[in-house]
Amino acid sequence: MSTNRGGQTLRFDAGRYEESVLGLILLVQFTLAAMLVVTTVGWVFFTLGAWTDADRSVTFLFGAIPYLVGMAIAVYLLNFLYE
């Protein structure tokens, strides 16, 4: 199976599995980035909704921030596996 990856190569030796590993890294990176976007949009929506409602507290929604930061760090660090 030949796919065009735009000249991207791994920074480490993966032998004959280089194309598969690169594809897997890009798939995981894309999936995490999509999850990050969807989670951030949902978090902003619920935070703004709680902020405008006098009966709800906004502070309990801050528990999602470590998950957002963790996904962003994972996406960023996956960039270092290929060039």
Q: What is the pLDDT of residues 31-61, one digit of tens each?
A: 999 999 999 999 999 888 888 887 878 787 8
Q: What is the pLDDT of residues 10-32, one digit of tens each?
A: 888 888 998 899 999 999 999 99
What are the extents of the domains in the chain?
16-81
Question: Whole-model pTM?
Answer: 0.79
Confidence of residue 6 (pLDDT cuts 50, 70, 90): low
What is the signed CA dihedral for 39, 40, 45, 46, rounded to 10 degrees? 60
d(CA 60, CA 62): 5
